[in-house]
Every structure is written in structure tokens, then in C-alpha cells.
Amino acid sequence: MKIKITKNGKILLFVILGIIVLGSGGYLLWRTLQPETVAPEDSEAGGGAGSCCCLDDNVDGSCDDSNCPHSVCPSGLVCKDVGTKNGTCDDNGAGCGVCQTVHQGCYWSSEFGIEGLYDCDGDSIDLNSGLCYCTEGSQADDKCWRQSDQCKCANTCSSGPVRTCAQTEQCEFPLNAYYDSDTGQCTCVRWDQQSHKYGLGTYCSTKPLLCSFSKSCESEGLISCGVSGDGGDKTGCTVIDSCDSWCGGCGNLSVYKLYCKEEIVVTPSCGDGILGNTQGEECDPPGDACTDINGNASTCSDACKCPVIDIEETCGDGILGNTEGEQCELGDPTGVSCTWDVCNQTTCVCPSSNPDWSISKVGVESCIEDGETIEGKAIYTITVTNTGDAQGNIDRVVDNLDSKVIANYLNDISGVGTYASGQITWDLEGDDEIFSVDEAQTFTYYIQIPSSAFGTYDNTVTAYPSEGDSFSVDETVVIDCDIPTEEEETPQTGIFEDSVVRILFGLILITVGLNWNKLNYSITEYLSDRRIKNFENRVAKKK
């Protein structure tokens, strides 16, 4: 039996199906977004003591396994309070309550064979056996030691119960006596500027200050050879005074010494200095070597005298007396000397010398004709010059070409120059990169372009010194050669526009004119004869 569904029935059926589909989808969406509910665990249900892990006081009391894997706060678990101190957490429930602050700790570095935090209340380590660092407070970088069962931080380089070498240990500045706990020996070590330590051990944030001498070389009628640690030559010099320099808590005494020597009086002489050493001589022959009154090498004169040699006084190669006439031993930088008149005579500093640079680029245009082909050419010359008063280095020279230039246009790039990505680069190495004062180097190449590429070409060349800023110059050339063109012939629209035709036509007219009478008679006679023949033919047909 067939069931017939009316039009209204169909509509009602579709409405019912739609309600069912929408209702099912809404229920599924509600179930998806509903928060999960799980049964409370023992650690959360009861609250109170031991119900949560120890967390920072600034964090709520909720606990998760990623931060604290314990459901009950274990005894001695380390946590942090609202400050930065280390402490032990008590069992006060959610939020961990208040962390109990412990005594300040000392950090023992690997220099003493021990690493990590140490509670000063413990007895396992004798803190008097060496130095360690405080871990907190405004003096966190200072040393600390045990005193009355408390950790004490020393002021920077202040005295403290630090084991030092015997007072009889003599180390000359800048060396300092250092007790090596590993070997039990006292050694002389140098204070290190970077680590602020003596050797691998004793920490001290400041370099020991120099002490003062009670004497001077001048007061003793002597010439100064310098002091301990200045790097000067002490050959032939003796110590006339010394003092003890040390930084409390940073090691033992460092002896600071003053070196002096007797002034050498040079007697001028000629030759061998012995008059009459050769029979009959009144003085050594002129030209022989002698020493002037200042102790400088000279040559005997005709008057049997040793002329004083004028030596230019200088300042600063770092070693007093290493250069004749030098007046001080500092130098800026060491190894640089200058004349005494331009030297800063208070600090013994020479004026700095530096390279200075200039760069130029010149482009010369020309045209090249090869048969019916015209091409443009531009020759470029780049010059880099050291215009300063000291030697300098150039690492590379880079020429940024016009965007219209392609590799096929480039020719004869000089030296080590290479082309890539629109640039020509000269990477200089060895002697090529060194520019002495007033030295110049040139770099060349040329471009040759077809007539289709004629136009304006802009580019910039830049030089890069090993020290200091780069410097550049721009150059523009215009390549535009005249291209010859053929004259177009006027199109001939008639037979008389050709000169040959005109001449032939004129000759024909002249010939016709000269023979007109004959031609006219011949034509008339021909036509008359023709008419007679035609008439005779018609008469003959009628008969």
C-alpha cells in the first residue's frame, strides 16, 4: 500500500527532522564545553598541615606536578620566601606559610676543592683555612669567614682571619706572597687584572696600593733607575729604599723597591784619549772616534776637541734610556716615540698618530665605431690615498655599479678584483692592504656597451679600512654616441620623376619634332591608301 504525503505533510516532516538535528548538535557542544569534575585527592580534600607542596609565598597554594612533585611538603624542602633568601619550609598547609630564614651562606669555589652553599653553623668545614664568597647582601662579591658560629662578609679587601704566608716571605711588587693550600707552600704570584685574584687563589677586588718611600735618588746624589714593576733595566742599580705594600686580607706583604745608581761622569777625549801615545802626536788624528761631555759618540775635530753632539730628545718608547735623549719611560702607546717639545712632559704621552684617507673615481667616455656598429666605452680609475701621519690598512674596495651594467659589459678588472651581484670587489691581503704615509693605490676597469644601452651610468665606490669608518665617492658618466642614419628616398609617384625617363622623353620629343613633316605626310598617305583599298573591296563584293 502506498503512503501518500501531502505538500503540508512534507513541510511538517522537514521541520521535525531539523529540530532533531539542531537539538543533538547543541547537546554535544554543551558536553564538550562542560568542565571536567574529578574526585578530590587526599592532598586537596582535607586542607591544613601538609596538604600542599612548598611554593613561593607570592604564588597561590595550588599544586601541580610540574613545579612540585610532592603531595605533602617534606621536611627540609628548600623554597623561597618573598625575598631572595634560602630557607626551609614548614608544614603550614596551602601557600606553605612562612619560610624559615637560615644563616647567611658562603660559596666555596673550585679553587679550594669545594663547591656549593655552605651553612656557617655547620662544623664540617673549617672556614679559616681559606677564602670564599658571600652569597647574599650588598657585599655578595666580598670574602666571608666563620666567626662565633656566624658567617661574616668582609668589606672589600679588609682584614680578616685569612691564612697568609710568614712575614719573612719577600715578594717584590707587583708579585705578592700567596699561600697555596694544596701544596702548603708560599709562592710569589701576580695580581690578575681580570679575575681580581692572585694567581688561581686569593680574591681581591682592588689592586694593592703603592706605598711611599722615605728617600729619593736625587736626595742621595744618585740617578734613578726606576721602581719595582716599571719594566725598566735595573742593571748596575742598587736598592736604596723599600716599603711594604699590601691589601688587608688579600695576601701577604709585597715589597716595593726604589732603584738608583751613581751618576757616570764622562771625560771628553779624542781618539784613544792618550796624548802622545803615537810618537810626535799632539792629539789623536782628526776624525777618530771620541765621546763628548754628554757621553754621546762624536768625532775628533781639527782642534783636537770632541764636539758635543746635539741629539734630539724624545718621549716614550716604554723603556727609559732605551733611546738616546729619551726623558721618560711611559709612552703612549708603548713603542711610540716623539720629540720632547711635542710630548706631554707631565704624563710622558706622545700625540697619537693615525692614518687618514681620501678616495677618488674618474670615468672617461669614448665612442667606438666598427663598420656600421657604434658602441660606447667608459674607462674608470679609482685611487685610494693615505693622507694621514701614520701607516694604515685597507681591507677591501667595493664598487657598486649602475643597475644597467651586466657582466658582459665589464673588461680588464685590475688586480684581485672580482665581479658578483652588481659589484666589483678588491679584497686586499698582505702587503697590498698596507698603506704607508702618502701611499696611493689605483684600481681600474672599463665597460663597453651597445648603442641600445646608451645613457647615464651612476655608481658609488667605497673603501673599508681595518680600523675606523668606511669612506665613499660617487661618479656619473653619460655615454651617448652619434649614430649615422641613411637618407630616405622620396617615393616616385609618376613616370616623369625618374631623371633617365625625363631625358629619354625629351629626346623622343626632339626626334618627333624634327621629323614631324615626314611623319605627318606618311600617316596621311597611309590613311588615304587604306581608305581607297577599303572602298575598292566593297565595290568588288557588290558585283
Residue 299's beta-bridge partner residues?
289
Residue 338's beta-bridge partner residues?
315
Q: Are residues 453 and 402 in the same domain?
A: yes
Report pLDDT for 38: 41
**Alpha helices (H) along 213-331:** none
- Integer Cα distance of 342 and 327 in angstroms: 13
Q: What are the φ and ψ backbone dihedral angles of 404, each rounded to 5 degrees? A: -80, -15
3-state secondary structure 482-538: CCCCCCCCCCCCCHHHCHHHHHHHHHHHHHHHHCHHHHHHHHHHHHHHHHHHHHHHH
Residue 99 lies inside a defined structural domain of this protein: no
Residue 191 CB: number of other CB atoms within 10 A?
23
Q: Are residues 471 and 417 in the same domain?
A: yes
- Paired sense of beta strands 392-400 and 455-465, if any: antiparallel
What is the Rg, in whole angstroms, of the alpha carbon atoms belonging to the chain?
Answer: 55
Task: Quote the cell numbers at residue 134.
Answer: 658571600
Q: Are residues 207 and 288 in the same domain?
A: no
Residue 73 lies inside a defined structural domain of this protein: no
Q: Of 479, 506, 526, which one is at a domain's C-terminal end?
A: 479
Q: Are residues 362 and 468 in the same domain?
A: yes
The set of residues, in sequence order, having a beta carbon less than 8 Å from that of 262 and lying 6+ positions away, is 222, 223
Task: Quote the cell numbers at residue 367.
Answer: 665612442
Q: Are residues 461 and 397 in the same domain?
A: yes
Q: How far is CA 339 from CA 314, 343, 389, 390, 414, in A?
A: 4, 6, 15, 16, 42
In which order are the strands placed within the sheet that holds 410-411? Answer: 357-370, 373-386, 440-450, 410-411
Does residue 133 contact residue 106 with C-beta atoms inside 8 Å?
yes
**Average pLDDT per consecutive 10 residues, the chain (543 residues; last block may be shorter):** 63 73 68 51 34 37 38 40 37 39 39 40 37 42 44 38 52 72 68 57 55 86 87 87 65 76 68 55 67 73 73 58 57 58 70 84 92 90 91 94 94 95 95 92 96 93 93 94 69 60 75 65 66 72 65
Report pLDDT for 425: 97
Provide the residue type at 98 as one letter. Answer: V
Residue 124 lies inside a defined structural domain of this protein: yes
Q: Is 111 in a helix, a strand, or coil?
A: helix
Helix or strand holding residue 457 (H, E): strand 455-465
Cβ density class 340-354: b for 16+ within 10 Å, e for less: beebeeeebbbeeee
Helix or strand holding residue 14 (H, E): helix 7-33
Task: Quote the cell numbers at residue 433.
Answer: 692592504
Q: Of 479, 504, 534, which one is at a domain's C-terminal end?
A: 479
Does residue 103 contact residue 119 with C-beta atoms inside 8 Å?
yes
Question: Which structural domain, as residue segments, surrounds residue 303?
Answer: 266-274+283-309
Residue 530 lies inside a defined structural domain of this protein: no
At CA 417, angle to CA 415 and CA 420, rounded to 5? Answer: 165
What total number of domains does the chain contain? Answer: 5
- Integer Cα distance of 324 and 267 in angstroms: 18
The set of residues, in sequence order, having a beta carbon less than 8 Å from that of 342 and lying 6+ positions away, is 350, 351
Does residue 104 contact residue 84 with C-beta atoms inside 8 Å?
no
Omega of the bond prior to 355 within 30 degrees of 0, cis? Answer: no
Q: What are the φ and ψ backbone dihedral angles of 51, each rounded to 5 degrees? A: -90, -10
Does residue 303 contact residue 285 with C-beta atoms inside 8 Å?
no
Q: Are residues 320 and 298 in the same domain?
A: no
Q: Are residues 375 and 426 in the same domain?
A: yes
Q: Are residues 362 and 472 in the same domain?
A: yes
Residue 432 lies inside a defined structural domain of this protein: yes
Report pLDDT for 46: 32
**Within 13 Å and on the Cβ side, how many CA atoms surround 59?**
15
Q: Are residues 385 and 473 in the same domain?
A: yes
Sign of CA dihedral 296, 300, 304, 309: negative
Residue 250 lies inside a defined structural domain of this protein: yes
Provide the residue type at 471 as one letter. Answer: F
Residues in the chain: 543
Residue 144 lies inside a defined structural domain of this protein: yes
Omega of the bond prior to 333 within 30 degrees of 0, cis? Answer: yes
Task: Quote the cell numbers at residue 327.
Answer: 726623558
Report pLDDT for 285: 67
Q: What are the φ and ψ backbone dihedral angles of 362, each rounded to 5 degrees? A: -125, 130
- Integer Cα distance of 130 and 182 in angstroms: 11
Residue 395 lies inside a defined structural domain of this protein: yes
Q: Are residues 288 and 330 in the same domain?
A: no
Residue 267 CB: number of other CB atoms within 10 A?
9
Q: Are residues 397 and 465 in the same domain?
A: yes
Q: Of 446, 463, 479, which one is at a domain's C-terminal end?
A: 479
Q: Are residues 249 and 338 in the same domain?
A: no
